[in-house]
Structure formats: structure tokens, C-alpha cells
Amino acid sequence: MRRLALLTLLICAALTACQPAQSDVEPLPTLFPSPTPEQFTLEEAERTANAFLFAWQSSDYGTMHSLISFSTRDATPLDQFSAIYENAADTMSLTALAIRPLAIARDASTPRVAVMVYDATFTTDLLGTFTDPERELTLVFEDRERTWRVAWSRGDVFREMEQGAQLRLLTTTVNRANIYDRSGIVLAMQDDRLIVTVNVVRRSIRDEAGCISTLASAANVEQDVIARRLDSTPPDWVNEIAQIEPAAYTEYSAALEQQCAATFGNRPARRYPNGSLMPHILGSVGYVDPEDVPEIVREGFPQDSILGRSGIERSWDEVLRGRPRVELVLDMPNGTRLRSLGVRPSQEAQAVWLTIDTGLQARVLEILSTAYAQNADTWGRQSKGAAAIVIDVRTGEILAMVSYPTYDGNAFTPNPSIGRQQALEIIEKTSTDPRLPLLNRATQGRYPSGSVMKIATSMAVAESGVYSVNTRFSCSGSWTRNGITRTDWLASGHGTLDLAGAVTNSCNPYFYEVGYQMNLVDPFLMPRLLRQFGLGQPTGLTDLPEDPGNIGDPDTYRAKTGLQWSFVEAVSMAIGQGEVEVTPLQIVRLTAAIANGGDLLRPYLVQKAGLFDDFSYEAQPEVLSQIDVRDEVLNTVRRGMCDVTTAYTGTATFQFVDSPLQAIGVCGKTGTAQNLPGPTTHAWFAGYAPREEPEIAVVVMVEDAGEGSVVAAPLVRDIMEYYFFGE
């Protein structure tokens, strides 16, 4: 009661906020003249208090420790003292501390004791700013050195800590939001029923040996793992010790209740209803890397949070995960709540809708899978994989993107819905598969493009003025310059062709000459224009990682090989070989630009994000650049591509002649790219449809499978037939 009365007088004196009757008030001790030595004055006590509190503001725990009483300093070494403040700062996510002294006075009956009253304002990452008002700092006069010192206790961090309370940050996470396709079909979801958490109070365990043994069996881990987890937990707190599957809960729950006094809860698991359909797009969730733990903890997530690790799950993680509710409290070990210091409300997780058409995606995957099965004794035996992409040429929306072979994405989550044993088997098989199923060939596969490149080099030579659209060349079965001879894929040649005809017939000698002539004008000319067309550089996709590929030039070639660039490199580049590495995504984007009139759109996979009635994000088509060629050039290349599927000499006419697609028109280009140094070739086909007012562009690339006209073209045909005509 004396301390309370003194505190009231201190605050009243400092703030002049209360006016007791004169007859009831004694002058504050600070007003009495002091007969004691100078070191014993209240001003000296105030100086010590300010030094201690201002050192706290600077996190100068060494200075703080030097100012506390000798007995307390001996009982609380500096490292322990510092750890108390550091742990409190970490728990709060403290970024700044402001101290406002209010008043100081001696205790009238104990002149060697003084009390400073002050406000402390804490600024934190998680809770913003909160003030702890009218705190007390007690000082004592030490005869040993005739100085005032802080009579420190844990209560000087927060007063309840003197009673044994602990500062805790409580987080209440929100369920991760779903991912949907463009029509609202669920692609990724949370399932609260799949994982059971086992919670134990260490001091309440009835049979420690039996508890550890049963927990280890239920969680399928070694006993020493469980023992270490128990040893590292506070004895009086409820701690999550293990996660078990529903079958294990059924088998072991009674024993766990008896031996461990265990209670149980649920941990949501991420589930992909069709896990093999698009794992390269959706990605996976998982525990964060150790180096990222401090960051997520400062955002309010528990350090064992399961967040996005790859794919859409990662690139849109901040949207999908929401934000936990966070409350800073002072609790007693028995769970009694003494005080709440501040609360940050939760932020609801937002769903993501993809541009993907699930039906189309499934059909594309089926087409590729069937092709491999049907050709298991021919090219399917040596081909490691394939990629197929369907893009809307008007917007840049990716309607389907398949990398083959695929895998079940459910296996790569921390709490696999398919069961841990099956997940481990899938992970082992996938990780050791020489076909590299984890590689997203659509965005990260680097390949020579073969003759698909001719749609780009034909635009480059005509737009540069080195050729006109009507330039004709005798396309025989071979081509020779400066003692270098190259042959055509058709030994008898194609006769004399103009630019459109060279595209239709895929005449190699025509394009050898293109490379040679452009190189004579400027060795950098063709590489520069190919990059202008979006090749050998990122497409602008932000939803997934992509490889930039490479379009070489004299500088990059010399840096890589130490050799000088020659016309031979330009000749190879003109037909998509040599210093050419592109991704299927780059080729489909270029094909879409030819179809839409020249716009190189940003390809994207996310259509919108938010709640069902309130979208925080809605994608809009974005033109990043243009291929910037004249209409005359663009129309010539289009004519050559459209004849590929219709003209008598078109390289893919035989694949499309009986297709219902002839009614709307398909324009495309075959490609057969040598996979040097081996003897095999990658099969390409890139096309768009309809011929008038195009809607989609489709690219298929099949590794080490042979000719594009034989392998890739019919796959594009089947994809387009499904898109335009259904089953």
C-alpha cells in the first residue's frame, strides 16, 4: 500500500493531473533538501535510472548490466542477463523502444530506495506500436561504491515476469487457400482430416519409457528423436511432439492417452485432387529453409510452418497463406493468462484461379502419354521427355502446359495425403529417374529449335532488307560456300523458292544462304533480331521459373569457346542449330505473336486472386514488346506457315489433310533439331489456328524422337482437334 501511495504521488507531481487537499499532502521527497553526500542525492539516482533505460533503448545490455546492484549482477551473469532481453525482443519482434520518464522519488521511510516511474513504448514488426504505461524502476544506494544502482529483477522487462510469467507470442494461422482452374475446378486444397498432432505436457507423462516407445512407433521415427523433442520442451507447457497419420491414431491413441496423457489435434495437409495432372505448374508446399526461419517468424508464422516451396504455391505464397492472428501475452506456466500486450488480427488467405483449362490439360497429357505408349518400341524407347503448351494468342493466357513425364505432386508435401510410405516410394523413384521428371521442360528445357527457327530467320532477313519477301533461291539438295558444304533434308532439293515457299518446304539451303548473307552484312544482325523476337531471353512469365536459353553472337561465342565467330555459326543459327538454345515457351510465344499481328505478350498462369466475391488481383493482357516487322513480311511468313499444313509440298500436309481442322485452317512449322553430339533429333511443331482471327498457338517438342512432321505435328493436330471440336 505504501508503494501504491508513493506511485500515486509521483504521477500526480509529475503530471499535475490530480490535486489532493493541502492538509493531506506531504511534500515529495524530491523537494526535501538532502543533508547526504552528493552521491546520495536523488539527482544521482535519476541519472543512473536514465542511463539504464536509455541503454535499453540502444540494446546496450552490457551497460545495463553494469548499472544493476552488485548482488543481482553476481547472481545474473551478463550472458544470462542479455539473453533475457534478447529473447524478449525476439519474441516481440522489437524494432525500437522509446522511454518517457515521468517522475522519481525516494521512499520516505527508506531513503536508500528510489523509484522512477516511466512509460515504455515498443515498436514491433508484428504488432505495430504498443505502450506499457507507468512502469517502475527501483534503485538502491550501494555503500560499497557509494552509488545508486538498479535493483533489477525479471519484472523490469515486464512486471508479471517477476511472478514467473513468460512472454509468449501466440499465433493462430489461417487455412491455406485453394487453387482453382479457370472454371473453378479445385486443383489444390487444404484437408484438415489427414494429419493428427500428438500433444504432451512433459510433467504429466505417466510412463516415460512406454510413452517414448509408443510415440516413436506411431510417428515412424527413432525413439531418440522423440526423446530429444521431449527434453527440449518446457515441462509445464502443452507441446506438439509428433504428427501421425489417421491409421496410426486409430492404432495407438489409447496407449498414448494412457502412457503420455496425450491430447490430439489436427494439422491441415495440402492435397492435390489430381496430383499428376500439373505438378510442374502447381508446385508444392513444405517447411522453410533454416535461413528463412527468422523472416517468417517475424511475419507471425511458427517456425515449423508449411509454406509454398515451388510453382504457383511459391510464387503466390503470400496470397495463398494469408496472415496469422498474433497476440503478445504474459502467461503463467500453468496457462493462466495475466495480460495481453497487443493483438494483430489475421488476414484471410486468398484463393488463386489459374488460366489453365483442366479438361484441355488432361487431354494434352493423355495425348503425350498415349504417344509414348504406342511408340514404346521406336522413339519412345530413347526419348526422355516432351513438352506441350497451349496459349491464347490474344491475351497470353496459358491454357495448358504439360511437361512429360509427370509425377504425383502429393508425394512432395510434408503431410502427404497419399500416405507417407507411398510418398517415399514416389520420391525415390522420381529422384532417380534418368528422364528427369521434376524438370519443367516447357519453361526450363533448353533445346536447339531446328527448322522451327525458320519462321524467325525468314522475318529477320526480310525485315533487315538483306532479302525481300520475293527473293528467290535455287534450293537444291546441297549448299556450298567457301569450301563448306551443307545438305538438305531432301536430297533432290525443292527447286527455286521464294521466302514463303522456303518456309513451307523447310528448305535448308535457302536458309543457309540467309545466314551467310546476313553475316556478311553484320555478324550481330541476325542474333540481334532473333532476340528482338523473344528468343534466347526470358518471356516475362512471373509465375514459374524459366530458363533464358541462349542466342549466341560473336562476343558470347568467343567468351564461351575462345574461338572467333565465322559464317559457319551464322549458317547453323539460321536453321536453329549451333548457338541456339530456346525453350518451348519462347517458341509458342513467338508463334502467338505471328498470329496476333506482332505483339509479344507476357505469358501468364494466374487469372485472378482473392475471395469469391472480392478479387484483389485480376490479370490483364500485357504487351511487353513487338516483333516489329512490316505487315508485308508478317503476311509472307504467315502464308508460308499456312501452306505447311495444306500445300502439296507442305512438310505437315499429310498429317492434317483429313483433319476437321482444315475447315478453319492451321498454320504451323515443323522442326527437326539435331541433339548434338548424339545422333538423335528433337521433334518440334509450332502452329496456330484458326487461320483467320487466330485464337490459340500450340507447341509440342519431343526429345530424341525423330522428325517433327512425323512425331510432333500429329500431337499438335490432336490437341487442336480437342480444343476446337471436343472429343
How many angstroms separate the CA atoms of 544 and 12, rounded? 63
pLDDT, position 38: 61
| C-beta separation of 663 from 634 below 8 A | no
Instruction: Please check whether residue 680 is in contact with residue 450, taking contact to mean a CB–CB distance below 8 angstroms.
Output: no
The confidence band for 334, taking pLDDT boundaries of 50, 70 and 90, is confident
- Write down how long the chain is: 727
Split at pLDDT 50, 70, 90, the class of 11 is very low
**Helix/strand/coil for 223:** helix
- Domain ranges in the chain are 2-164, 179-354, 443-643
Q: Which three cell numbers stand for residue 658?
A: 483429313
| pLDDT of 21 higher than 80 | no
Strand 351-354, strand 179-180: pairing: parallel
Residue 97 in grid coordinates? 523502444
pTM: 0.84
Strand partners, 400: 390
Of 373, 190, 176, 410, which Cα lies nearest the Cα of 278?
410
- The mean pLDDT value of the chain amounts to 91
Please give the DSSP secondary-structure letter assigned to residue 30: G
CA dihedral 213, 215, 216, 217 (to 10 degrees): 90
Lowest-confidence pick of 20-29, 121-130, 587-596: 20-29
Predicted local confidence at residue 192, as pLDDT: 67
Q: Is the pLDDT of residue 323 over 60?
A: yes
Sign of CA dihedral 307, 313, 315, 316: negative
**pLDDT band at 203, cuts 50/70/90?**
confident
Instruction: Determine the Cα–Cα distance for residues 673 and 449; give it in Å rounded to an integer.
Output: 6
Q: What is the DSSP letter of 447?
A: B
Q: What percent of the chain has pLDDT over 90?
A: 78
Comparing CA positions, the residue from 685, 675, 689 lying closest to residue 712 is: 685
As a whole number of angstroms, the distance between CA 67 and CA 86 comes to 18
What kind of architecture, by CATH, is found in domain 443-643?
3-Layer(aba) Sandwich (3.40)
- Chain centroid to CA 217: how far? 34
DSSP state for residue 83 in the 8-state scheme: H
Cβ atoms of 711 and 477 closer than 8 Å: no
Strand ranges (DSSP E) for 315-457?
A: 325-331, 337-344, 351-354, 386-392, 398-404
CATH number of 179-354: 3.40.50.10610, 1.10.4080.10, 3.30.460.20, 3.90.1310.10? Answer: 3.90.1310.10
Of 37-41, 89-93, 477-481, the one with minimum mean pLDDT is 37-41
Q: Maximum CA pair distance of the chain? A: 123
The Cα 554–Cα 563 span in angstroms is 9
- Residue 586 banded pLDDT, cuts 50, 70, 90: very high
What integer is the mean pLDDT of 458-473? 96
Highest mean pLDDT, choosing among 35-44, 99-108, 360-369, 612-621: 360-369
Q: Is 179-354 in the same CATH topology as 2-164?
A: no
Q: What are phi and psi of 360, to 5 degrees?
A: -65, -45
Whole-number Å distance between alpha carbons of 494 and 572: 20
Cα 422 to its chain centre, rounded Å, is 26
% of the chain exceeding 70 in pLDDT: 94
Considering the four listed CATH numbers 3.30.930.10, 3.90.550.10, 3.10.450.100, 3.20.20.70, the one that applies to the domain covering 2-164 is 3.10.450.100
Band of pLDDT at residue 196, cut at 50, 70 and 90: confident
Q: What is the pLDDT of residues 155-190, one digit of tens each?
A: 999 999 999 999 988 888 888 999 999 999 999 998
Distance CA 385, CA 400 (A): 17
Q: What is the pLDDT of residue 37?
A: 55
d(CA 292, CA 277): 30
Distance, in Å, from the CA atom of 208 to the CA atom of 658, rounded to the nearest integer, reads 75
Identify which of 241, 277, 435 has the alpha carbon closest to the alpha carbon of residue 359: 277
What are residue 645's phi and psi, to 5 degrees?
Answer: -105, 0
* Angle in degrees, CA 352, 607, 687, rounded to 5: 130
What is the rounded CA–CA span in Å between residue 506 and residue 497? 10
Burial class (CB in 10 A: 0-12, 13-18, 19+), 661: buried
Chain centroid, CA 426 distance in Å: 23
Beta pairing partners, 115: 105, 138
